[in-house]
Structure 1
């Protein structure tokens, strides 16, 4: 079976290479004015991302690429400016009040959508939604992550330590529906059955050789409010009492992994086993997170198979086999990608490619960008350009190609990331030796609706959806 798959992948590569020889070059462009107005640059602390989860340990902390906070410079916290408060207030209002009237959704396919936003204004490189925990609902600004199962928020009394956050810390004593999960309950087994005698405990580490990034506390259940008319009862989450690391000003995390404790699994009873999200194309726009099936407007969905790996049961794998850049198929054998597999992850910033694939992509990008003014490397980003003074920016289009023929066309902002307002860098990096698989990060997913149909074991892509 393995040899047959290898032969099939090789045939796919040969076919793609033949097509690329006859294909016209493909490019994307944006004006410099629009670039600056969209505020695409990343003002963030070191990139923390729970990308690889096995049980309660998350062994990968992804490297930072933001010069203001890297290189050992101590990060100084700042007050959230007025316009940032307004953005957060607007996001909260849009999340927890009735949505505008829309076309009715068939009864057999219930769904709910809430807006998501870049977390830059909360000093987080992740994407943020505002939900409510408890009864009455206490608003929480949380990042959402398909690489994590466990949802958690910081909780009073924070007997250990709570990092600074913009919203008031969740107070369980003010919720009439809050329950601490007792020891011996089935839910407790999913956290390793850790107990303090009567109450189930949880612990998760986000580490790079230390336990610097971590959260631990009480496994709890409470009502989760998505909109004023959509509430989910008895959703399990971690009530964080000891939360260490630079999480920015976010209140916690929504886990959308494949495990039993994740929001996507828990919501499946009410909304089915499908969810999707669209990450905003730039930091000045808004996307959405949808639980349940939602209609796709007049566009064909590119579906690829969702692969399961027993070593990483919580993660969403896809079978990437090739990359098209500017109409040119990289001359990289599919086995370079498939030997370890590729994870699609909303919580990792950059895409991590096998070394051979990254080198081929980088070299072709440089070849296509000849004549553009180069810029010094920006931390882990080694292919950068200075676009100051130009009227517009023209770059080669990039598409990810999967073994079943599905194609994922990246947005302009899915190819370049901007550490500074007019300094753009190729938003890919070679996979670190410590990472056991390749990763398609959230930068590459910007503006595309990504549909996770867990029951049908497939993932769909709809470009230019937000």
Structure 2
């Protein structure tokens, strides 16, 4: 009986010593697993694990989803230079990239010069901008198809929230007066609904005020327009009306547009421009009875996929829309202003005073490619991004816009720090991985942001950071919404 008690005693000692160690070891493993899970979730929140091939366009077009609400009028959106575009290319991928960045620099200079209200022409080695120009550079990268005339003729036009006047190239238009386009020029005499606007009409007077143009009439008493862009591109011709067709059920008679007989510049092979500013002659204002000044778009993540331009409603993104107030600047009443409040990198808010953003002001613009920030804000963003990318070799910048580039030779995937742009109303634009970098060469990718020359220069939310989001412009409701995953 005593032996049995000793055996039980030793068994008790064994269990009391080993079992806690075993349980402690299990507890450590559980806690380690939980910590690893938390770390993994943190990594997902702070970094994008990106396949480089996903950032590169394919050779063929892949049609993306285009919203979910059938009540919207949706126009497919394609990148002007991609395989989904109806326009012919003819240049190498990276020569196109260089041209895009040159055009972008000129556009930003045009915007900044316009806002500065300078009284004399601005001149440097790249642009000459008339002081009275009311337009931004008209070289948007995204195109849609619209119909003009009766019978309807289709035209491929760049759409631009920074432009007011819609215009297309029209006959008569010889080689010395017009640039080459893929579609036939519009023939006004072949449309039964075309009409020139009289010079002495109130509409023509309003056009003069909008364009800052005092030479809008000619000897035939037909209202004339002339619009100049920041890279010396221009369009001149008759201010006219005709039927605009967006679909079989969306037809707008007496739509006011420019019938251009003298057009030159960096418009590619597009047939013209679709103006989506707040102005009275923009498509947004002219279709107010049907669409209520409500439109949205989703820009595709690569040039080999498509997005949409929608009128009259929210087209429907895969996530809840977040809204921020849409503001008006009395010195620039036609642009779409937002109140940016902060920037985060890797899930951490940067130490940037909100006054940095209010000093410069910020507009959202579909035609600017690279987002421009006040130098103080950009410096903080660049520093945090470089820290998050410290394991990758930096590369010399192939373009003056960029100063933070990386050579990804030998890499198939990279870890990109997440970037969040914060706006009034606790609205966050968590930039998609496709909107973080700009591919400058076969192996070099650059941070797709740039700093302005001064903190007082206007900030611009460019289209690269808008990729894959449904961006909703509720002009009458004075709010702008972001919805992630709308056309990815």
State the Cα distance separating 1:273 from its structure 2 match.
1.6
The answer to whether structure 1 residue 201 and structure 2 residue 213 are counterparts is: no
Alignment of 1:370-389 (within 5 A): 370-379=390-399, 380-389=401-410
* Segments ≥4 residues shifted beyond 6 Å: 99-102
Aligned twin of 1:290: 310
- Distance in 2 of aligned mates of 1:363 and 1:103: 42
How far does the alpha carbon of each residue in 1:370-422 deviate from its partner, in whole angstroms, 9 at most, with x for none? 01122210212111112232121210111110132111111112111112243
User: What is the aligned partner in structure 2 of residue 364 from structure 1?
Assistant: 384
Whether 2:243 is the aligned partner of 1:223: answer: yes
SS at match of 1:215: strand
Point out the more displaced range, 325-334 or 223-232. Answer: 223-232
* 8 Å CA contact 1:410, 1:463 repeated in 2: no
Are 1:36 and 1:421, in contact at CA under 8 Å, matched by a contact in 2? Answer: no
SS in 1 for 2:386: helix
Classify 1:171/1:436 alpha carbon distance in 2 versus 1 (closer, same or farther; 3 Å): farther
3-state DSSP of counterpart to 2:334: coil
For residue 152 of structure 2, the aligned residue among 113, 137, 140 is 137
Kindly state the Cα deviation for residue 35 of structure 1 after the two structures are TM-superposed: 3.1
**Larger Cα-atom Rg:** 2
Contact 1:118 1:125 in 2 (8 A): no
Q: Deviations over 1:11-43 (max 9, x none)?
A: xxxxxxxxxxxx87511132133334547xxxx
* Structure 1 unaligned blocks of 5 or more: 1-22, 40-82, 106-110
Alignment of 1:337-356 (within 5 A): 337-356=357-376
**What stretches of structure 2 of length at least 5 have no aligned partner?**
1-41, 90-138, 209-213
Return the match for 1:114 from 63, 66, 75: 75
Superposed CA offset, 1:201-230 (max 9, x none): 11111125xxx2111111111111112332
Shift of 1:352: 0.7
Say if 1:31 and 1:457 are closer, same or farther in 2 by CA, change over 3 A: same
Structure 1 counterpart SS, 2:351: coil
Mapped contact 1:36–1:422 kept (Cα < 8 A): no
Change in 2 beyond 3 A, CA 1:100/1:258: closer
Residues 69-80 of structure 1: pairs in structure 2 closer than 5 A: none
Q: Look up the match of 1:187.
A: 203
| Whole-angstrom CA distance in 2 between matches of 1:171 and 1:322 | 50
Tell me the equivalent position of 1:5: none
Q: Which of 440, 444, 454 is residue 419 of structure 1 equivalent to?
A: 440
Are the aligned partners of 2:376 and 2:455 in contact in 1 as well (CA < 8 Å)? no
Q: Indicate the SS of the match to 1:378.
A: coil
Distance 2:151 2:67 in 1: 25
Q: Deviations over 1:295-315 (max 9, x none)?
A: 535621110000001111110
TM-score for both structures, normalised by structure 2: 0.74
RMSD between superposed Cα atoms in Å? 2.5
Structure 1 match to 2:333:
313
TM-score with structure 1 length normalisation?
A: 0.77
Contact 1:337 1:354 in 2 (8 A): yes
Q: What is the aligned partner in structure 2 of residue 442 from structure 1?
A: 463
Call closer, same or farther: CA 1:401–1:430 in 2, change over 3 Å: same
Write the mapping of 1:402-413 to structure 2, written as runs, cut at 5 A.
402-413=423-434
Q: How many residues align?
A: 382
CA displacement, residues 408-437 of structure 1 (integer Å, 9 cap, x when unaligned)? 111112111112243211111112459941
Which residue of the partner structure matches residue 96 of structure 2?
none
Asked if the contact 1:375–1:386 (Cα under 8 Å) also holds between the matched residues in 2, the reply is yes
Q: Indicate the residue corresponding to 1:153 in structure 2.
A: 168
